[in-house]
Chains A and B, each alone.
Chain A
Amino acid sequence: MSVLRLGYVHINVTDLAEAKNHYINTLGMDAVHEEDGTVYLKSWDEADHHSVVLSEGGVGLTKLGYKVSDADSLAEIETRVRAFGATCERMSKGDNQSVGDGLRVTLPSEHTLELYSDIEYVGTATGLWNPDPWPRGGTRGIGVPRLDHTLITTEDPALLERFLSEALDFQAAERLVGGEDNTELVGSWMFCGEQPHDIAFVQGENGKLHHFAYHIADWSALLHAGDVFSMDDVPIDFGPARHGITRGETIYFFDPSGNRNEVFSGGYRTGKDFRTITWTMDQAARGINFTHRELDQNFLTVVT
């Protein structure tokens, strides 16, 4: 059984035209499909039909989709989710544009997480035959290649961690602990493949999104992204900086509705034999922003 990766993020935006401009022209995603105030977008190096879905009305996360290797895995996950006692229902082909049958799970943190193995294949911008390393016709703005991970908030990090590990086979790459004797889990960065994290969560309000992140090539791509943000007057939360946790490099920024996004590069390789790294609360600021060793008062509390 295996969950492959974060496949899609559905979010609400207050103004669809502004949001489209940000995701298409600043970030460089392509609109694949549009209907009834909802736009489906994909990045140039993604092969599946869409990865980010914007719907007009409000702010914040509607649901996350994680792609699973095959239908048998979906069935096995369903058994495990039910054994855990979490709520889940079957999702049918057509519930989501271009996505096949799957499973809709309500996480212990009240987030909706959809699992699917079948989604329309569109192909990357460079194709499979003797591909160029990047689209010769150019990309717009930053030209983000792909989605990477999300960070959500939960009232009970320990419960969510146990659910993701028991029902979905995720493993913790890094954990942030506090309290007496460092026994309380404050946050966890979990992977399903070999990335440092595919989903992460910190203590906070249930059902909320802290950010979702795009992977970009390296530190210089990150600085280039920073240039584009300044040109387009995109509000920066923090960065460019190095994360202690995941060892990645980052810029956090906000979309036109105030949803937090991240461009993320670097990190390390995990895998089934990876041993969990631990951070203690007294080092939390360095864990999150290794470069500056301090955090803005709102970094962890502002969620949508």
Chain B
Amino acid sequence: MGDTPDARAIEAPRPNGEFQVTVFPDRIRIGVRADETIVDALRRQGYRSRYKCRRGGCGACRAVLVDGTVAYRTPVSETVVDGPDREPGQQKCLPCRAFPQSDVIIELGERDRLVDVLAGLGRSRERTT
């Protein structure tokens, strides 16, 4: 997959029911199972993104939803999703509570980085670049 994802690929679930989530700017791509939030899937696969409450309440995990759709199974407050600096035309999401409904691309904030906490254990990962 290149920089611009193919729209058809975005809509198609993987055969095993997973959707793929690509995390910008590192372009790390992970599979997210139907019963997992994006943060759950990142953790399962040895990554840490910035988060705090993991309950949709604090906004620490807030990311731009570049492409795709997500659903929230528990109510989240809109002001927490949008955050203080709402930019027109830009959609945000809370990865700690978001269940992908398609392949999804999210972009972390400038100061937020995806950390590979299991890197030392030598597991290799798929990256989109």
A:82-123 near B, CB below 8 Å: none
Residue in B52, B54, B56 whose CB lies within 8 Å of A14 = B56
Please determine whether B52 and A59 come into contact, CB atoms closer than 8 angstroms: no
Q: Which residues of A contact B90 (CB under 8 A)?
A: none
Q: Which residues of B contact A304 (CB under 8 A)?
A: 57-58
Of B10-18, B74-82, B116-124, which binds chain A?
A: B74-82
Residue in B54, B59, B75, B80 whose CB lies within 8 Å of A254 = B54
B:19-64 near A, CB below 8 Å: 50, 52-60
Q: How far is the CA of A302 from the CA of B54 in the complex (A)?
A: 12
Q: Which residues of A contact B59 (CB under 8 A)?
A: 302
Interface SS of B by simple majority: loop
A265 within 8 A of B: no
Q: Which residues of B contact A302 (CB under 8 A)?
A: 52-53, 58-60
Please determine whether B53 and A14 come into contact, CB atoms closer than 8 angstroms: no
The total of Cβ contacts below 8 Å across the A-B interface reads: 56
Q: What are the interface flags for A275-304 relative to B under an 8 Å C-beta threshold, 1 for contact and 0 otherwise?
A: 000000000000000000000101000111
Please determine whether A59 and B57 come into contact, CB atoms closer than 8 angstroms: yes
Across the A-B interface, give the 8 residue pairs with the lowest CB-CB distance, nearest first. A258-B57, A258-B53, A254-B53, A258-B55, A235-B54, A302-B58, A59-B57, A14-B75
Please determine whether A258 and B58 come into contact, CB atoms closer than 8 angstroms: yes
Q: How far is the CA of A254 from the CA of B59 in the complex (A)?
A: 13
How many chain A residues sit at the interface, stated as a range, is 10 to 19
How many chain B residues sit at the interface, stated as a range, is 10 to 19
A37 within 8 A of B: no
Please determine whether A58 and B52 come into contact, CB atoms closer than 8 angstroms: no
Given contacts A235-B55, A254-B55, A302-B52, contact A14 B60 (CB under 8 A): no
Q: Which residues of A contact B60 (CB under 8 A)?
A: 298, 302
Given contacts A59-B80, A302-B60, contact A15 B54 (CB under 8 A): no
Q: A254-B53, A298-B50, A302-B59 are in contact. List 18 more A-B contacts (CB 8 A).
A: A14-B57, A14-B75, A14-B76, A15-B74, A58-B77, A235-B53, A235-B54, A235-B55, A237-B53, A254-B58, A257-B55, A258-B55, A258-B56, A258-B58, A258-B80, A298-B58, A298-B60, A302-B58
